[in-house]
Amino acid sequence: MFRKFLYVFALLLGLILATHFAISPALAATCTWTGASTDWADSGNWANCSGAVPGATDTAVIPATANNPVISANTDVGTLTIQSGATVTINGGVTVTAGSLNLSGTLTGGGDITVSLTAVWNAGGIMSGSGETHIMGSATFDLSAYGVDLVGRTVRNEGTMTWNGPSTIWASAGAAFINEAAGTINAQTTTGDVSFYDALNTTTFQNQGTITANGASSGYGLQMLTAFSNDGAVTLQNAWLRMVYGSTNSGDFLGGSGAILFIGKNDAPGQNFTFSSGSNITIEYVVFEMVSTATVSSYYDASGANGRTQVLGYAGGSTITFTPDASIVSLGDRLDVPLYTTVDLSSGDPISIPRIEHYGILTGTNAITVTSLYNWRAGTLGGGGSLTVAQGATMYPRGTGAKSLNGRALTNHGTITWMDTGPINGSSSAMIDNYGSFDAANDATFNGQANVTFNNYDTLVKSGGTQTTTLDIVFNNYGVIRPESGQIAFTYGNVALPPASATNLNGGSLEVDGLLDIQGGMLTGSGTILGDVQNGGLIAPGQSPGAITIQGSYTQTVSGTLSMELGITAQDIVTVTGTAVLTGTLEINLLQGYTPALLDSFQILAYTSHTGEFGTLLLPALSEGWGWDVTYEPDGVYVQVTQKESYVYLPIAIKP
């Protein structure tokens, strides 16, 4: 009986022990590759591996050996460490599943590796071949090395990647880095740039997830010298992003103070970029650098303390287009339009901007308001939209080169100062509505004839230049024309002075290729009119006294008034080099301090010939017994103080 008991006990004990060892995991081993051959699956190539090959809980350490391992079957390994100088080849169609990857050597081949826990890409590490490296969503991915290589291989990140600068991925041979929708990349640029670099532009970097670059105002950023496309979100925190090679983007570019988005690069000119409808550029400083085209259909907001939209053009030509699908909140505090560059603002949004620097072509349908400064140094201002110079703002057409106003409506509520001698050429029904001051500060020409209309509602002044400013355009005056220096020449048709308008000859001259038609307005000051004058308003030579010379004919209508001032040693005078036709009103006023004396005589109007006489005389009162004598001589009109004739009536008695 006892023997039977012992037998049963022994059987049970054996069963328990067998079950225990069957279900207990083997202890994790650190297996080191020895490289007797290249077969990963040959246990003879491994040391410290309990006579087996590395498994799902083991660490496989690959040092530099004569024979590097080749993985030809699906394999699970706990941690794969590839040391500097070593190479692991994964054959096509094979997947290696690793908990962790520590790469200092080379991972190559057509097969894939999937990392579920941690991946560390160390300095000198190389990923190559046609396979993929897949960082799963549960994994962390660390890249803190200055130089690693990605040659032909695809990296897919669904985990959380920390990319510490200074660090560069040297990419080539069609390699791709894809940050999947679940992937996160935290680029720390506080001590240096992080870069994805491919000088030959054979690679791509696609962001479908989230990238955050934090520079802490260090001046460093994230540099994508590849075809970078963003369909996810890129956030810049006191850092910059440079996109070098052309791409299409449907994602978001976000950043506050200190953020800069560089689109293109000067040593890789001529790239094409697209920002699709539904994408978002909210960056306070955006630079389009030597691109061929950039098409923006996105939400766009460059507002901020350093807000600016800067375009750096190149000789091959750059075109930046904001399409009707775009939504422009702000271009920042400054827009630059350089030479060889077209900026087309056609989103339909009204744009208010403090400053524009203009050398190239600014066009489009948007209504633009400049609130501080517009330097128009060259190029074309065109399109079907409008440009408004706000009250308090100044626009400066500068330089000796020609500028073109092509179809755009320019409205001035501030000051336009035409600084230099460069002409302005108008076309396509361009229009200027001047409600402020338009100052020709030099001698120049505005060409366009019937293709340009200038409506002056406030002040047109010529303050500089001793020669001629020529306006060869349709000119309608409802305000004040004031030539102070040199000459303003209107060489396309008549110039009218309707009621409440004026021309003040403040020492300069006015040329009209046609007729200066005073239709209820007035002509004042001292200077010269080159052309015929018809006065249906008021002519009053100014500066008390003043002298006006009309090099042409003078016709005064019944509604016209010639108002003259007379003094002791000086007087007003109008000199007409042609014929004078007179009617209307002559008004005489006395200068302060002047008391007429008997026989004082003044020529108030000079001409070569005349017809007619003033119909109404408004003359100042004189001492009793004196009167004014107005005479029309062959050379002009004179007024003289004369003794009135007096008569004594005596009674006469007639006797029958």
Residue 280: which domain range?
A: 247-336
562 within domain boundaries: yes
Is 525 contained in some domain?
A: yes
Instruction: Select from 175, 173, 205, 98 the least CA-distant residue to 141.
Output: 98
Rg (C-alpha) for the chain, rounded Å, is 44
Three-state DSSP state, 615:
coil
pLDDT per residue as tens digits for the range 336-384: 999 999 999 999 999 999 999 999 999 999 999 999 999 999 999 999 9
Angstrom distance (rounded) from CA 300 to CA 345: 12
Q: Minimal CA–CA distance to 294: which of 317, 318, 314?
A: 318
- Joined together, the tokens standing for residue 323 give 């399409």
pLDDT 10s digits, 232-279: 999 999 999 999 999 999 999 999 889 999 999 988 899 999 999 999
Q: What percent of the chain has pLDDT over 70?
A: 94
315 assigned to some structural domain:
yes
Q: Among residues 336, 362, 383, which one ends one of the domains?
A: 336
- The answer to whether residue 109 is domain-embedded is no
Sequence-separated contacts (24+) of 174-178 with Cβ below 8 Å: 174/202, 174/203, 175/127, 175/150, 175/151, 175/202, 175/203, 176/203, 176/204, 176/205, 176/206, 177/150, 177/203, 177/204, 177/205, 177/206, 178/154, 178/206, 178/208
* Tens-digit pLDDT profile for residues 12-61: 444 443 444 333 445 799 999 999 999 999 999 999 998 899 999 999 99
> Exposed e or buried b for every residue in 159-193, given b needs 16+ CB within 10 A?
bbbebbbebbbbbbbebbbbbbeebbbebbbeebb
Structure tokens at 140: 């962390």
Count: domains in the chain? 2
Asked if residue 362 is part of any domain, the answer here is no
Q: What is the mean pLDDT of residues 165-175?
A: 97
Q: What is the DSSP letter of 521?
A: -
CA angle (443 as vertex; 442, 449 as ends), nearest 5: 120
- Structure tokens of 420? 């230099």
Q: pLDDT tens digits, residue range 233-242?
A: 999 999 999 9
**312 assigned to some structural domain:** yes
The domain boundary, picked from 271, 305, 336, lies at 336
Q: Would you say residue 351 lies in a domain?
A: no
Whole-number Å distance between alpha carbons of 448 and 284: 39
**Complete DSSP assignment for 338-357:** -TTEEEEE-S---EEEEEEE
Half-sphere exposure of 188 (CA within 13 A, CB side): 10
Q: Which of 311, 336, 361 delimits the end of a domain?
A: 336
pLDDT digits (tens, 9 = 90+) for 631-646: 999 999 999 999 987 5
Q: Is there a contact between 587 and 567 (Cβ–Cβ < 8 Å)?
A: no
Backbone torsions φ then ψ of 135, nearest 5 degrees: -95, 110
| Residue 100 belongs to some domain of the structure | no
